[in-house]
Structure 1
Amino acid sequence: MAQATRKKTRAVPIMPQLHRGVREAVLILLVVVGIYLLLALATYSPADPGWSYSGGVSPVRNYGGVVGARFADAFLSVFGYLAYLFPVMTAYSGWLVFQDRLHSEGIDGRLFALRWAGFLLTVGAGCGLATLHFARGPVPLPQGAGGVLGHLAATHLLQAFGGVGATLLLLALFLAGVTLFTGLSWLGLMDRIGRYVLGGLSFLVIRAARLRAAWATRRLRRERKRGREQEIVRERAATQARSKPHIEPVLPRVEPSLRAEKDRQIPLFESAEDTDLPPLSLLDLPDPDPGGYSTEALEAMSRQLELKLRDFGVEVTVEAVHPGPVITRFELQPAPGVKVSQISNLAKDLARALSTVSVRVVEIIPGKSV
């Protein structure tokens, strides 16, 4: 008969889970106690019964009840305003216990004791500083801003080191206590503050440079716009003051002569006269005149020609215009220092700018300086 074998099951360790549960319970408990102590201190009333005063039959004003009133009176009498650090340290102790919840070992007693030692050193030095420099606070306390502990520390240190020495010593103890209490590095804090300050200064410098550049650009644009407006005003004034170009009159159409009218009538029965000239009837009549440019149009074309040449950096003045049935001639007077070759090289550019088929530049007109 086969014997049944019992499977071996691996037991789940219970101690790590128990440690984590205890740590969470301690955190919750100490945080609640810290909130209660802070509430008791914040609602302190001198009329409530306490360590330094026995109240009457009136109801207790402290939100913590009789226990809260006695705690607030005792701690404010002994530690002054530094008593408000005790609720913070109580909640912080819960966090110290809870932060190592993933480790199966017990609570690090040395770290815990070091934090509390730093806290007590901070409270003692802070009480002395409060007594020396904050004798009157916003809320009247039973034994002053530093309490009984601050009075004792300030009295003995003043006798031994004087006012400045006692202040320096208490300030050094206070900073050292804060370092032990919170693990804060003052050198690291100064380094971070310096880094933030330098970063802020560099940001301000960059912003100031950008603002100056934007302001300079805006000012340059205003000056450029003002210069363009002034230039336009000067050009208009110069254009109005400039004499209009001389426009040659268009030759009138030649009327048919008497001979031409006579030659149109061809004799049928009489022989033609014996002359050396052929009859005019052999010639065709001219095409009808389509009409040329008006005087205003020729003046506008003259100004346009001046502006187009000015766009190319050539300053000229139109002196005269000779309109014709096919070609219109503009006589130009170059400004001093302008070569005629500069205008000749711009013939094609002028034709494109004036929307014409072609432009021919005659450099020399006999008998004229244009």
Structure 2
Amino acid sequence: MLFFLVYGNSSLTQGNNLKTLSGLQRLLEGGLIICCMLATYVLLALSSFNPNDPGWSQSHFQGEIHNWTGAVGAWVADVLFYFFGFIAYLIPVIIASTGWFIFNRAHKLLEIDYFSVGLRIIGFLLMILALAALASMNGENIYVFSAGGVAGDVIGQAMQPYFNTLGTTLLLLCFIGAGFTLATGISWLTIIELTGFATIWLAKQILALPQHFKGREETEDTRGFMSVADKFKQKQAEHASNSESDKADLSLPFDEPQTESNNESRQQIEEKTQSRMASFKQFFGSKKHSDANAYEQSDSVETPQDDEDQTLELENDINEPTFTALDDHDARQEPSLSIWDHAEDNAGSESQYQSDKDAAVANISHDEAISDVDEQTELDESSLEQAADVIQEAGKLVAQRAPEKDAKIVDGIVVIPGKDTQQLARPVDPLPSISLLDVPDRKTNPISEEELEQVARLVEAKLADFNIKANVVGVFPGPVITRFELELAPGVKASKITNLSKDLARSLLSENVRVVEVIPGKAYVGLELPNKFRETVFMRDVLDCEAFEKSQSKLSMVLGQDISGEPVVVDLGKMPHLLVAGTTGSGKSVGVNVMITSLLYKSGPDDVRFIMIDPKMLELSVYEGIPHLLCEVVTDMKEAANALRWCVGEMERRYKLMSALGVRNLKGYNQKIKTAAEQGEYIPDPLWNANESMLDEAPPLEKLPSIVVVVDEFADMIMIVGKKVEELIARIAQKARAAGIHLILATQRPSVDVITGLIKANIPTRIAFQVSSRIDSRTILDQQGAETLLGMGDMLYLPAGVSVPSRVHGAFIDDHEVHKVVADWHARGKPQYIDEILNGVSEGEQVLLPGETSESEDELDALYDEAVAFVTETRRGSISSVQRKFKIGYNRAARIIESMEAQGIVSAQGHNGNREVLAPPPPKN
């Protein structure tokens, strides 16, 4: 036995993998078992009470005990009935609940909230005493005891002289409700709401019962003789529940095309089509199309896709018709089905277009179609004839209204339709719905005011340990951190607390402590502590805010929430460029995805276009194919340099256009284009040159969208391409704001050789995620603080013109949510790529960096002849002498000397670094 006690437990747990309990858990589980047994014992004692048994309030000399639990149980039941009456049956429930409560909160026994425990005790007492009083006033006595016991009699008799019976009952019911809330923490408003929901649900189920039984009584034979209208409604209901586009099953066989004269005008054909459609709809019952994926597309009607047999079969189960009413020369187009595709796609070949038009304008023989349906349905032949005529005339209308294709200027570049231009399958408006994002599972922060008060007192105590006297005057809890505002004693410097941030984090058992030395508008010092339970900031919550919805700017972006939980919405147009830096895993890539997705939710391709540079080939490739892109996602860094050069050339072109129109920025330019279009006029391109253009006249100017250049890792781009990229970025950052070109640069290596002074001087708006050292924080923000961030989207946002950064908790968007938004834009159309962006600009528009020369330019410097004369005359062929003589830079002087060496004027450098002048001196006059 002793051997089992010593070794048996270990061998048993190892052999069967049983989980053993710790000492505290064993004690609590034993206590739970005891409480449950005690509650059962009291319940049995109360249930088997017999007034003839001896008890506390009475005594008998009989030897037999009738109570199931013996003499002790008889005494316990007697005491409880004497004091509480019928309410004594609640005592076992309270005992069992207490045991379960203690066992369930074992991990928080060391953090007992005495205030909460006191409220629960008060709530239980209020309920028991009020119920006892009500039972005493309204219930019948139990044996020799009052229905509410002594407690109920005392309370009821004390209150009735003052409030009468009705007033006393109302007060006792009020005490019961308040006691229930204090004891359980459950709100009565929640109970009322749940009761209402349950009632509504039950009422709907009862009202649906007759229809349910009626459906069950219908036999299979009866269903076979359903009317055509019933089948049509049934199919429409099935299609409405399916997310994909409905495919029409109704079609009629085509015969050889009939040759008709097109003497009727378009208006007559449309009037005839609408009248016959109205009569045909009257037979089936008018019903609007309910598919959410159907979008209006002007001048487009659906055409049959099958070119082999040119037949459409009328099946037994009639589905939704393939034709719709033509209102105001418009038609409905399903994204997954384009029935009149051939009439538009083959517009380049007139013969092929004519054949497709003839196939659409077909002669319909309704006799064969009716013979297939006669067995099960009774459809009026005249209705089918009308439907056939509608299809014929709709095809004629499409053939007559085929648009003529002409050359078009898109952003100043001649685009041939059918080659690069892709018409949107669905219109841009409305923009993507917020329902594409997941509904977040919000978990509220369980911290209470009492806990915040305890932490505030703890902060004051720990600061006092370091001889710093401070008082907490404000507490601002947020989703991730809580800010404590400290009022320092006179003579205490804020830098002293900053230097003690690590010690404070250790003393407060915190991961990091960030000290905010200056809070704008307040004379306090901020101390930011991470919450024990961190909340996730979801992008759907931030997008669904009033600030983002009412923002008029097409470049509005969401970042996340501030320390108080308010959404942070910024305008890229006012920044106008953004620098993002942070270590790997700090949430930088998710933050960039949030910015891009918010732009996709705010603007269409007519307002914003993207150039995305992704050296990693992973982060931005998901956006490939959206109509906002000007070129494919760039992964080759040599092509990235060409893209930046194109941006510089586009910037110069836009400035010339704005100068010719007399406007100061892109907004003023687009407003002039819009005003002219509203007046039915257009503005010709002032940069048009008849000698260089294939057009006979100047093309009209069109609206110019803003261009956002997103670089995911520009440190890698600088490493591969070199410093030339830095100069290109500097040129764009200096001048491109008025031209509507904006940069978003992200890097995970915030060092001085990547984020140089030239870049920082031209990009004042910066975002710093978590970094590894104070040096990196100073590189990004010119101040420390980013090294104390918590990661996972925690950032410091420094707007332009502000010296103190604000802390923002970045929003989170999952990969599948990004894919949903991208897929929604994919369904709307394809991008219009400009090949010159990646292949290099034309020679006339070539943009050169400082120090670069074109192949057509002379290789010799403007001072070359004077330098040759100086060198041959002085017989000194050194770089320094040329530099001092002409007061030029070292690099320029070195290039001049190297050119002289190439032409044989001076020799190569010797072992001592000197050069010999080989050319004779110039002749003297």
Provide the TM-score with structure 1 as the length reference: 0.50
Residue 141 to residue 117, structure 1, CA distance change in 2 (3 Å): farther
Structure with greater helix share of residues:
1
CA contact 1:134–1:145 (8 Å) conserved in 2: yes
Q: Which residue of 1 aligns with 2:180?
A: 178
CA contact 1:77–1:141 (8 Å) conserved in 2: no
State the SS of the aligned residue for 1:105: helix
Mapped to 1, the partners of 2:108 and 2:152 lie a distance apart of 40
Q: Does 1:49 align with 2:54?
A: yes
Q: Which residue of 2 aligns with 1:91?
A: 96
> How far off is 1:76 after superposition?
0.1
State the SS of the aligned residue for 2:24: helix
> How far off is 1:173 after superposition?
0.6
Q: 1:132 aligns with which of 134, 137, 147?
A: 137
Mapped to 1, the partners of 2:164 and 2:54 lie a distance apart of 38
Q: Does 1:67 align with 2:69?
A: no
Mapped to 2, the partners of 1:184 and 1:51 lie a distance apart of 37
Mapped to 2, the partners of 1:190 and 1:100 lie a distance apart of 28
> How far off is 1:19 after superposition?
3.0
Mapped to 1, the partners of 2:187 and 2:165 lie a distance apart of 27
Q: 1:105 aligns with which of 104, 110, 113?
A: 110
CA contact 1:52–1:142 (8 Å) conserved in 2: no
> How far off is 1:209 after superposition?
3.7
CA contact 1:128–1:170 (8 Å) conserved in 2: yes
Question: Counterpart of 2:73 in structure 1: which amino acid?
Answer: G
What pairs with 1:240-255 in structure 2 (closer than 5 Å)?
none
Q: Does 1:199 align with 2:201?
A: yes
Q: What is the CA deviation profile of residues 290-319 of structure 1, one whole-angstrom value per residue up to 9, with x for unaligned ones?
A: xxxxxxxxxxxxxxxxxxxxxxxxxxxxxx
Mapped to 2, the partners of 1:30 and 1:113 lie a distance apart of 21
Q: What is the CA deviation profile of residues 147-173 of structure 1, one whole-angstrom value per residue up to 9, with x for unaligned ones?
A: 111111111111010111000000111
State the SS of the aligned residue for 1:102: helix
Mapped to 1, the partners of 2:139 and 2:208 lie a distance apart of 43
Q: Can you give the 5+ residue segments of structure 1 that lack an aligned partner in the other structure?
A: 1-15, 225-344, 350-370
State the SS of the aligned residue for 2:110: coil
Q: Which residue of 2 aligns with 1:167?
A: 169
Residue 83 to residue 31, structure 1, CA distance change in 2 (3 Å): same
Question: Counterpart of 1:126 in structure 2: which amino acid?
Answer: L
Q: Which residue of 2 aligns with 1:24?
A: 29
* Greater Rg over alpha carbons, structure: 1
Residue 147 to residue 214, structure 1, CA distance change in 2 (3 Å): same
> How far off is 1:36 after superposition?
1.2
Residue 93 to residue 76, structure 1, CA distance change in 2 (3 Å): same
Question: Counterpart of 1:208 in structure 2: which amino acid?
Answer: P
Mapped to 2, the partners of 1:98 and 1:107 lie a distance apart of 13
Question: Counterpart of 1:38 in structure 2: which amino acid?
Answer: L
> How far off is 1:22 after superposition?
2.6
Residue 197 to residue 60, structure 1, CA distance change in 2 (3 Å): same
Mapped to 1, the partners of 2:37 and 2:106 lie a distance apart of 19
> How far off is 1:72 after superposition?
0.7
Question: Counterpart of 1:155 in structure 2: which amino acid?
Answer: Q
Q: Which residue of 1 aligns with 2:559?
A: none
Q: Can you give the 5+ residue segments of structure 2 that lack an aligned partner in the other structure?
A: 1-20, 226-366, 372-925
Residue 127 to residue 53, structure 1, CA distance change in 2 (3 Å): same
Mapped to 2, the partners of 1:163 and 1:190 lie a distance apart of 27
Mapped to 1, the partners of 2:105 and 2:120 lie a distance apart of 15
Residue 104 to residue 55, structure 1, CA distance change in 2 (3 Å): closer
> How far off is 1:77 after superposition?
0.9
Q: What is the CA deviation profile of residues 186-222 of structure 1, one whole-angstrom value per residue up to 9, with x for unaligned ones?
A: 221121111111011112222334446778x89xx7x
Question: Counterpart of 1:175 in structure 2: which amino acid?
Answer: G
Name which of structure 1's ranges 50-59 and 86-95 shifts more when overlaid on structure 2: 50-59
Q: What is the CA deviation profile of residues 311-363 of structure 1, one whole-angstrom value per residue up to 9, with x for unaligned ones?
A: xxxxxxxxxxxxxxxxxxxxxxxxxxxxxxxxxx9xxx9xxxxxxxxxxxxxx
What pairs with 1:137-148 in structure 2 (closer than 5 Å)?
140-148=142-150
Mapped to 2, the partners of 1:115 and 1:29 lie a distance apart of 22
> How far off is 1:108 after superposition?
4.3
Q: Does 1:151 align with 2:153?
A: yes
Mapped to 2, the partners of 1:107 and 1:31 lie a distance apart of 23
Q: Does 1:117 align with 2:117?
A: no
> How far off is 1:67 after superposition?
1.6
Residue 130 to residue 209, structure 1, CA distance change in 2 (3 Å): same
CA contact 1:76–1:141 (8 Å) conserved in 2: no
CA contact 1:126–1:174 (8 Å) conserved in 2: yes
Question: Counterpart of 1:146 in structure 2: which amino acid?
Answer: G
CA contact 1:131–1:146 (8 Å) conserved in 2: yes
State the SS of the aligned residue for 2:50: coil
Mapped to 2, the partners of 1:24 and 1:107 lie a distance apart of 19
Superposed CA RMSD: 3.0
Mapped to 2, the partners of 1:31 and 1:117 lie a distance apart of 23
CA contact 1:97–1:107 (8 Å) conserved in 2: no
What pairs with 1:295-334 in structure 2 (closer than 5 Å)?
none
> How far off is 1:101 after superposition?
1.9
CA contact 1:125–1:170 (8 Å) conserved in 2: yes
Mapped to 2, the partners of 1:64 and 1:214 lie a distance apart of 56
> How far off is 1:145 after superposition?
0.8
Mapped to 2, the partners of 1:70 and 1:104 lie a distance apart of 34
Residue 198 to residue 92, structure 1, CA distance change in 2 (3 Å): same
Mapped to 2, the partners of 1:22 and 1:69 lie a distance apart of 30
Question: Counterpart of 1:172 in structure 2: which amino acid?
Answer: C
Mapped to 2, the partners of 1:104 and 1:152 lie a distance apart of 37
Question: Counterpart of 1:145 in structure 2: which amino acid?
Answer: A
Q: Which residue of 2 aligns with 1:305?
A: none
Mapped to 2, the partners of 1:104 and 1:149 lie a distance apart of 33
Q: What is the CA deviation profile of residues 263-316 of structure 1, one whole-angstrom value per residue up to 9, with x for unaligned ones?
A: xxxxxxxxxxxxxxxxxxxxxxxxxxxxxxxxxxxxxxxxxxxxxxxxxxxxxx
Mapped to 2, the partners of 1:206 and 1:157 lie a distance apart of 50
State the SS of the aligned residue for 1:145: coil
CA contact 1:76–1:83 (8 Å) conserved in 2: yes
Mapped to 1, the partners of 2:43 and 2:182 lie a distance apart of 23
Q: Which residue of 2 aligns with 1:365?
A: none
Q: 2:42 aligns with which of 12, 37, 40?
A: 37
Mapped to 2, the partners of 1:131 and 1:104 lie a distance apart of 38
Q: What is the CA deviation profile of residues 12-66 of structure 1, one whole-angstrom value per residue up to 9, with x for unaligned ones?
A: xxxx943333322221222211111111111111001112210113211112222
> How far off is 1:95 after superposition?
1.1
Residue 213 to residue 123, structure 1, CA distance change in 2 (3 Å): same
